[in-house]
Structure 1
Amino acid sequence: MLTLSTSTAELINTFLERLWLKQGVSQHTSSAYGTDLKKFYQFLLEYQGEAADLLQVETEAIENYLLWRRQQGLSPRSTARALSALKKFYNYAVKERWCSVDPTTRLRQPKQPQSIPHSLAESEVEALLAAPDLDDPVQLRDRAMLEVLYATGLRVTELVQLNFSQVSMQQELVRVIGKGNKERLVPLGESALELLQQYQQHGRPALSQKNSDFVFITRRGGPLTRQAFWHRIKYYAQRADIRSHLSPHTLRHAFATHLLNHGADLRVLQMLLGHSDLSTTQIYTHVARERLQQLHASHHPRA
């Protein structure tokens, strides 16, 4: 395990705190950036010894680090994120006058291959939603969470951190605070609203009597973690005999793909998903097109 000097640890922690305050990055992203910076510092220590200093770095050292990562077989995606962390750190360091030169200025992010997100067929989603036993308060909570997730396309982090102040039963809307503290309004839909009301009336009181602003709680009265909910999804997928690839964002991908399959506008989908760039949303058109080709091949008499 890497042991940081006090000054280096303070530099990294100060940077991460300011990043959270000014840009509203998620705890997950902040933690990842912290890990990336520590790994880079470890690289400096191994190659420069006691002379290693995060604030006295030349471009060549970063290029050598990126080359070393490729030689280690680390994924291009994780290397791109590592470079992003270094760019943000040194940009901030120059602004704060911790150092006079940004060694990452000349470095460009490598182009990433566009990965197609895995989704579920509509029949698989129906099977997943039907898997929980509504007579059990925990499973009633889980069913409500799955329904809300599929109806709104929320990120898992947004779902587990959802507060009552963000939900309007009367207007059937959820007000989501997404990445970068950007706010968006997403419709709930009848099925999600019905399960949410059922959970509030019967499931939530049976789970815990503690006061909590979080909508979805554990028996201790606190919110679920992302990891805990992900384990619940895998449990229900196994019960429903779903063998498709699953990820924590599977239902978010299904939400997007099924909306496009049924004629949703790409700009509307962008707003619902909370994407700042339309190009991020456009990846779902590939998923929808692939699905249409499969349907054509399966059902057209001359396919």
Structure 2
Amino acid sequence: MDLFFKYLQYEKRYSPHTLTSYYTDLGQFSQYLNEVYQITDPAEADHTIIRSWLLTLVQNNIKPRSINRKIACLRSYYRFLLAQQRVQTNPMLRIKAPKATKKLPAFVHEEPFNHLLDTFEFEENFEGQRDRLILEFLYGTGIRLAELTGIEHTDIELRAKTVRVLGKGNKERIVPLNDSLLHSIETYLEYKKSQFDNNNSGNLLVTNKARPLYPKFVYRVVKKYINMITTSEHSSPHTLRHSFATHLLNKGADLNAIKDLLGHASLAATQVYTHNSIDKLKSIFEKAHPKA
């Protein structure tokens, strides 16, 4: 298993988030094999044993999306074992994934969120301006949480109005910065210099102890402010990424351009946002079509 995870990390370049999920999934599968079948080596499991584990997950009301992720983990694992000649056949070839219902991306509405940014009085200190910058960065660029926490000072080009981010699979991309976001960055940097004695190096966004931001910290900040404008349970950093894409599409942005801004590998991943824009399309239709 250790060799498998090194393969995923260094050769396949999987994200830390995916590695953590796969590590948990494979650990749960190994525990099941040991407890139910007294099998200590997953290479000894056949498709019937794997199916019995998946059935147990279904009976425990595990969501189809989570089960599909576990299946994806096992598929990668047994392909690896096959390549390493640890198994003669791949038992996952006889396993079918359950159909998962596709949920539309949750997003915040444009007017209340922009009203929050424009009118809320963020404290005129390091903490207040950092919170504002977290919100503006996620909404103004559509970058992922891991991409946000990984931004360093050298990634920001104020004159070019761009930021370089490291996405999934260690793929770099350049994302434009709007004027409002640039102003927030400059204001934050002034407070950061004052807070930490001109130490503007390393990670751009840091805690009060000058340590890089961690995911739970960002989640708390985003949840705090989004809950001021909505009662929706969807108040995560990814909600602002979805909002970025949805609002761009509503304003007529090209889908391929949105794909590149989000760092999607294929257009299929971006097309889900077209469903959120159906109300906007209906409105345009009713105003423009002669028979509407």
Please report the TM-score for the alignment, with normalisation by the length of structure 2.
0.90
| One of 71, 83, 104 as aligned partner of 1:95 | 83
Partner of 1:60: 48
Partner Cα separation in structure 2 for residue 142 and residue 294 of structure 1: 35
Partner of 2:289: none
Partner of 1:104: 92
How many residues align structurally?
Answer: 285
Partner Cα separation in structure 2 for residue 14 and residue 294 of structure 1: 55
CA distances 1:106-133 after superposition (whole Å, capped 9, x unpaired)? 3233332221011111112213424351
**Aligned-residue offset at 1:99:** 2.7
**Aligned-residue offset at 1:249:** 0.7
| One of 33, 39, 42 as aligned partner of 2:28 | 39
Q: Determine whether 1:170 maps to 2:120.
A: no
Partner Cα separation in structure 1 for residue 271 and residue 173 of structure 2: 19
**Aligned-residue offset at 1:188:** 0.7
Distance change in 2, residues 1:36/1:132 (3 Å) = farther
Q: Are 1:208 and 1:219, in contact at CA under 8 Å, matched by a contact in 2?
A: no
1:272-287 residue pairs with structure 2 within 5 A? 272-287=261-276
Partner of 1:184: 173
Partner Cα separation in structure 1 for residue 78 and residue 257 of structure 2: 36
**Aligned-residue offset at 1:134:** 4.2
| SS of corresponding position for 2:6 | helix
Partner of 1:242: 230
Partner Cα separation in structure 2 for residue 277 and residue 106 of structure 1: 27
Q: Are 1:164 and 1:213, in contact at CA under 8 Å, matched by a contact in 2?
A: yes
Q: Are 2:136 and 2:181, in contact at CA under 8 Å, matched by a contact in 1?
A: yes
Partner Cα separation in structure 2 for residue 163 and residue 29 of structure 1: 23
**Aligned-residue offset at 1:89:** 1.0
1:222-261 residue pairs with structure 2 within 5 A? 222-238=211-227, 240-244=228-232, 245-261=234-250
| SS of corresponding position for 2:134 | helix
Amino acid at match of 2:150: Q
Q: Are 1:144 and 1:192, in contact at CA under 8 Å, matched by a contact in 2?
A: yes
Partner of 1:220: 209
Q: Determine whether 1:121 maps to 2:105.
A: no
C-alpha RMSD of the superposition: 2.1
Q: Determine whether 1:290 maps to 2:273.
A: no
Unaligned runs of 5+ in 1: 1-10, 298-302
* Runs (4+) off by over 6 Å: 294-297
Q: Determine whether 1:14 maps to 2:18.
A: no
Q: Determine whether 1:23 maps to 2:12.
A: yes
Partner Cα separation in structure 1 for residue 122 and residue 54 of structure 2: 50
Amino acid at match of 1:63: R
Please report the TM-score for the alignment, with normalisation by the length of structure 1.
0.87
Partner Cα separation in structure 1 for residue 121 and residue 74 of structure 2: 44
Partner Cα separation in structure 1 for residue 142 and residue 155 of structure 2: 15
Partner Cα separation in structure 2 for residue 128 and residue 71 of structure 1: 44
Q: Are 2:163 and 2:177, in contact at CA under 8 Å, matched by a contact in 1?
A: yes
| SS of corresponding position for 1:31 | helix
Partner Cα separation in structure 2 for residue 296 and residue 123 of structure 1: 22
Amino acid at match of 1:159: L
CA distances 1:23-68 after superposition (whole Å, capped 9, x unpaired)? 221111101100000111111122212x342111111111111111
CA distances 1:268-292 after superposition (whole Å, capped 9, x unpaired)? 1111111112111001000111355
- Identity score, percent: 35
| SS of corresponding position for 1:109 | coil
Partner Cα separation in structure 2 for residue 190 and residue 248 of structure 1: 21
Partner Cα separation in structure 1 for residue 107 and residue 215 of structure 2: 19
Amino acid at match of 1:45: N
**Aligned-residue offset at 1:216:** 0.5
Most deviating of 92-101 and 157-166: 92-101
Q: Are 1:155 and 1:249, in contact at CA under 8 Å, matched by a contact in 2?
A: yes
Q: Are 2:142 and 2:240, in contact at CA under 8 Å, matched by a contact in 1?
A: yes
Partner Cα separation in structure 2 for residue 218 and residue 296 of structure 1: 48
Partner Cα separation in structure 1 for residue 181 and residue 97 of structure 2: 40
CA distances 1:195-253 after superposition (whole Å, capped 9, x unpaired)? 1111112x212343456410111122111111111101122234x34323322311111
Unaligned runs of 5+ in 2: 287-291
